[in-house]
Structure 1
Amino acid sequence: MSKISVAGVRQHCTDLLEYSTETKKRNFLETVELQIGLKNYDPQRDKRFSGTIRLPTIPRPNMSVCILGDQHDIDRAKHGGVDSMSSDDLKKLNKNKKLIKKLARKYDAFVASDTLIKQIPRLLGPGLSKAGKFPTPVSHADDLTGKLNEVKSTIKFQLKKVLCMGIAVGNVGMTSEELVANIMLAINYLVSLLKKGWQNVGSLTIKATMGPPTASSRWDNEMWRLLLAFHSYIPGA
């Protein structure tokens, strides 16, 4: 697959937003997902990549986060209207795998006080790690709102057993330029993780939650040639 043009991505984003906000507006905020199909990659033999990157604009503002904190951070969480659990709350789970799995499913991400985070494996076992939701540390000196926004704006690429993945890169409440910037940065980072870069990219599709993955939001070799290397992308270009 060839590199893609910023102008092309911008047009796709404009079309997607027009469909989701005007043609077929829903009564909830649709997430925009980047769907990736890889090729020439063997998950059994090749190294499985994993990496995170922070996007300029939060893709999912309503993303649920729970703070596993000491008393100071629990007080801060309550003041900010954020769910929280103390070490005593975690102890009550008694390392019950079903309860820990239920906890992992309840929230999209976790943040833990740096005074508590080293105790998480002992209190909960590997449950959160297996779910890919091991907490992000926060110190008393950190701005809690800023840390939560950092967590909400960070996306993770991880190759498992299949050659396809879907990553939330935005929502239909964003502007076209915000969506373009998020998508370009996400793709750029993904390609940097791949063994052979663009040669490992089979297809890229952007799709709103209820929107169709039409040809207008899909790129492949026949549709896009080498027009502009997106690593040189500047918002507004």
Structure 2
Amino acid sequence: MVNCRTSKLSVSSVWGSIKELLADANGEKKRNFRFSGTVKLPNVPRPRMSICILPDAADINRAKQIELEYMSDKKLVKKLAKKYDLLMATETLIKQNMLIVTLARKFPTSISHAEDLNNNLTEVRSTIKFQLKKVLCFDVAVGHVQMK
């Protein structure tokens, strides 16, 4: 069993685990392979990823400056969260609205007021999360058509 519970993995460890899985695919399956993690790519594979922010008073102005969608009505979060690929919120709002957010089945990524929101969005869009379980197929976006 391959366990990687780090937040960021090296490409060599991912590649080595994939080689090991494919090598054992033809032989007997003595071990149960499960592999999950995140990889930060140098480019942005999903530039049109729909992101929404659950703002407090300071985040509303920051979201307006970079033209990011935000939901200030906390009661509509469960209903509107299905439209977005990712939700972002500050730590305090995540703790306050934990029940609402978990009912929407999307846990928001935490942001802070000290960080630049635009850089944080680029980092989130370029990070890929994956899980490799018993099925030996690996489908991950690593780029897009308009990429140089």
TM-score w.r.t. the length of structure 1 is: 0.46
Letter in 2 for 1:135: P
Are 1:54 and 2:27 an aligned pair?
no
**In structure 2, distance between residues paired with 1:152 and 1:119:** 26
User: Corresponding residue for 1:90?
Assistant: 74
Contact 2:44 / 2:126 at 8 angstroms: preserved in 1?
yes
Aligned-residue CA RMSD in angstroms? 2.9
How far apart are residue 58 of structure 1 and its match?
Answer: 0.8
Residue 109 (str. 1) matches residue 92 (str. 2): no
Q: With a CA cutoff of 8 Å and minimum separation of 6, indicate the structure with the bigger relative contact order.
A: 1
- 1:141 is matched with 114
Unaligned runs of 5+ in 2: 1-17, 26-30
- Take 2:112 and 2:122, find their aligned partners in 1: how far apart are those partners? 15
Equivalences, count: 126
Q: Unaligned 5+ residue runs, structure 1? A: 1-35, 176-237
Which string of whole-angstrom CA distances, capped at 9 and with x for unpartnered residues, describes residues 165-188 of structure 1?
Answer: 31111012223xxxxxxxxxxxxx
Greater gyration radius: 1
The AA in structure 1 aligned to 2:143 is G
Query: Which string of whole-angstrom CA distances, capped at 9 and with x for unpartnered residues, describes residues 96-140 of structure 1?
Result: xxx3xx623x112221122212234222325434xxxx2211111
User: Percent same amino acid at aligned positions?
Assistant: 54
Does the CA-based 8 Å contact 2:32-2:134 persist in structure 1?
A: no
Correspondence for 1:170 among 140, 143, 148 = 143
Match of 1:122 among 83, 99, 118: 99
Q: Report the Cα offset of residue 163 of structure 1.
A: 2.7
Scaled by the length of structure 2, the TM-score of the pair is 0.70
